[in-house]
Amino acid sequence: MDTSDADRTLAELGAKPSPSEEHGLSLVRDEDRLIFSPGISTAGFAEIRMARQRLDRKVIATTIDEKGLAFAREIITSLGLQHQVETKSEDLRGEWKYPANYFDFIYARLVLHYLPVQDLEVVLKNFAKSLKPGGRIFVVVRSVKNVNPNDPHVRFDPHTKLTTYPHYDTNGGLISTNVRYFHTPESIKTHLETAGLNVGDIQEYQEQLYRDFMRKDMSPHTDHVIELVATKP
């Protein structure tokens, strides 16, 4: 990804960069013409930048978040990229409609941790099937290091591997609870290998969060993430 193009897009949108997004986009090769992006990125920034890199590149971006989809679609259309970036409402747990050996690259940033283990295994097998030989998948998931095991509101389901965890306000009051499959490097690596993919280096780091879709308002909170790349033999 050309740095000037990246800077131009973010400056045009008034957005701040995100480390894991930068890492993923740096892996997109010039020859990667068809890209699948499940869980469309915040405001469609990643998809916009992939499309701008090559006029003959097609990006298929999906999500079940209707509000996020509408917002990303509006931004993408305003930039005249709707013919390159196909956005649609699609649940990864539903019928898999993509053919074998189809995608050059899959950009799965901050999406797979929403799936219980049973669905995750099916989804990754579908991804592997639809990747071309030599195609790669970029994965970022949230880490178990985000969870305080001593918090009385934390609940772990050993069957699904899902953890229910709390969000507190600044005074320590419980606002809401969310559900994720928090991973270890070993767990996500094993799932990808079971799907038939070869896993490369694994990174772990803290990533700053934002309060808004446009990534202008930085949150005081950080998130511990696990990042890796896997290749189809």
CATH number at residue 82: 3.40.50.150
Range of the domain at 53: 3-144+183-231
Instruction: Tell me whether residue 22 is exposed, middle or buried, using C-beta atoms within 10 angstroms of its C-beta: 0 to 12, 13 to 18, 19 or more.
Output: middle
Is 145 in contact with 205 (CB distance < 8 Å)? Answer: no
* 135 vs 102: CA distance, rounded Å: 9
Specify the amino acid at residue 177: T
Task: Flag whether 39 is in a domain.
Answer: yes
Q: Which structure tokens are listed for 135?
A: 């195609």
Kindly report the backbone phi and psi dihedral angles of residue 92, in degrees, each rounded to the nearest multiple of 5, phi listed first. Answer: -60, -25
- Share above pLDDT 90 across residues of the chain, in percent, rounded to a whole number: 75
Task: Flag whether 130 is in a domain.
Answer: yes
Of residues 191, 181, 178, the one with CA closest to residue 144? 181
59-108 confidence digits (pLDDT tens)? 999 999 999 999 999 999 999 999 999 999 999 999 999 999 999 999 99
Is 106 in contact with 137 (CB distance < 8 Å)? Answer: yes
pLDDT at 5: 59
The domain total for the chain is: 1
- Share above pLDDT 70 across residues of the chain, in percent, rounded to a whole number: 97
Is pLDDT at 173 greater than 90 in this prediction? no
SS3 19: helix
SS3 60: strand
Of the ranges 41-55, 110-124, 149-163, 187-201, which one carries the lowest mean pLDDT score?
41-55
Task: Flag whether 193 is in a domain.
Answer: yes
* SS3 per-residue string spanning 33-58: CEEEEECCCHHHHHHHHHHHHCCCCE
pLDDT at 83: 96
Is pLDDT at 2 greater than 70 in this prediction? no
pLDDT at 176: 77
Of the ranges 6-15, 16-25, 103-112, which one carries the lowest mean pLDDT score?
6-15
Task: Flag whether 174 is in a domain.
Answer: no
Task: Flag whether 156 is in a domain.
Answer: no
Is pLDDT at 11 greater than 90 in this prediction? no
pLDDT at 46: 92
Task: Flag whether 161 is in a domain.
Answer: no
Task: Flag whether 86 is in a domain.
Answer: yes
Of residues 23, 14, 16, 13, the one with CA closest to residue 52? 13
Task: Flag whether 158 is in a domain.
Answer: no
Read off the DSSP letter of residue 22: H
